[in-house]
Structure 1
Amino acid sequence: MLAPATATWAAPFAAYYLFLQNRVVYHRLKTEKYMGDTANAAEGTKDPLYVATRAQLNFIENVPIAFLVALLAELNGANRKYISYGLAALLAFRVSHVELGMMKKDSIGLGRPAGYYGTQAVIASLAGYVAYLVKDYWM
């Protein structure tokens, strides 16, 4: 096995992504809006289709880079517990961002900033860890 810690987290992240994706489909079918990301642009964060679409896109904008960095860390000898802790935290932050943030009234729940800054911290930490692991290559 090359990267079992990173691979372990693929299923929970994929499951949550499928949940987000199906939420978008649900709102598309409900509003009969099959193209675009909002039924009424003036409603913005009050429009469930728009919010669901943004939640899915926020996930896909952040998770792949975190997974890539985690994979690079693990392939370069990272402690697998650290990778698991980082990806567990990332999943918690992404769920918090959406379910306790974006899905709240006007999309301004406390989970939104916590999820955003937490995600940034995980990605930055993993990237710093990778840099540390490969530092001898550059010296």
Structure 2
Amino acid sequence: MSGTLGIGVPVPKMLPVTGTWTLPFASYFLLLSNRIVNRRLSNEKYFGDRIAPDGDNPENPDPLLVDIRAQANFLENVPIALLFSAIAELNGADRKILNYVLGSLLLLRIGHVEFGLRGSKTMGIGRPVAFYGTQAVVAGLAGWGLWLVKGYWGL
């Protein structure tokens, strides 16, 4: 599990687990981004965050706003989780558990959009489940990262 520098010096792979999960997360991010572009093109709405002026109506949420919020919410949560994952992995986190955690996070984020925001009146069951699940993953990764370096602080 190592590569080489240009002069033949072996270098270990530093973040194989976090690196493995970048493609699935990036793929879903690209899907969310393309939904926004497709919505804009099909409605000829090239600027702004709403198609209709009454887009804040909870009974009939504006689809462009829902798509934008789905992407933004993904971007608010996934990068920090991947950063905490990388920190934990660099400090010796169990790679099997880390794979399960990142797989769970991906499913939570997909559930948040597909079974939450895009659900009935933007409040499907996926939304609260994914919110609390994502919070648990982020807090768990941060705590795990701290636990892995506790010896540095003399604990």
Shorter-normalised TM range: over 0.9
Deviation at 1:35, TM superposition (A): 1.2
1:35 equivalent in alignment to 2:47: yes
TM-score by length of 1: 0.97
Partner of 2:138: 123
Partner of 2:6: none
Corresponding pairs, count? 139
Cα displacement string for residues 80-133 of structure 1 (whole angstroms, at most 9, x for unaligned residues): 112111100100100000000000121010000011111000001111100100
* CA RMSD between the two structures: 0.9
Bigger Rg over Cα: 2
Q: How does 1:1-139 map to 2 (within 5 A)?
A: 1-44=13-56, 46-139=61-154
Structure 1 residue runs without a partner (length 5+): none
- The structure where helix makes up a greater share of residues is 1
Q: Determine which structure has greater relative contact order: mean sequence separation of CA pairs < 8 Å that are 6+ residues apart, divided by chain length.
A: 1
Q: Percent same amino acid among aligned pairs?
A: 52
Deviation at 1:41, TM superposition (A): 4.5
AA matched with 1:55: A
Q: Kindly report structure 1 stretches of 4+ aligned residues shifted beyond 6 Å.
A: none
